[in-house]
């Protein structure tokens, strides 16, 4: 199931400046994460954005989880 979810996250240089988006739609992953972190529930997001599906939200969370699995973080600026 992870592979199916990950395939929902796409990137295209012509859509949202190449940021990872949901299924080629103009919903960047970061936007959905911001909605979730602000306290919005999945059901509320799906009501407000009717072209999104429950699996899209799961894909965003999986994408973020995989990004956080880095081995180390280096400080690049102070």
Residue-wise pLDDT tens digits, 56-78: 999 999 999 998 887 777 777 76
| Structural domain span for residue 57 | 2-67
User: Angle 34-35-38 (CA atoms, 0-180°, nearest 5)?
Assistant: 85
Are 13 and 70 in contact by the 8 Å Cβ rule? The answer is: no
73 lies in some domain: no
Is 75 contained in some domain? no
pLDDT of residue 78: 63
Query: Is 6 part of any domain?
Result: yes
Q: How many domains does the chain have?
A: 1
- pTM higher than 0.75: yes
């Amino acid at each position: 199931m992870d592979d199916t979810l990950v395939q929902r996250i796409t990137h295209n240089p012509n859509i949202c400046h190449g940021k990872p988006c949901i299924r080629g739609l103009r919903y960047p992953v970061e936007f959905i994460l911001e909605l979730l972190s602000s306290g919005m529930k999945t059901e509320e997001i799906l009501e407000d954005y009717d072209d999104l599906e429950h699996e899209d939200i799961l894909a965003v969370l999986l994408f973020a989880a995989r990004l956080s699995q880095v081995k180390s973080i280096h400080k690049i600026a102070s």
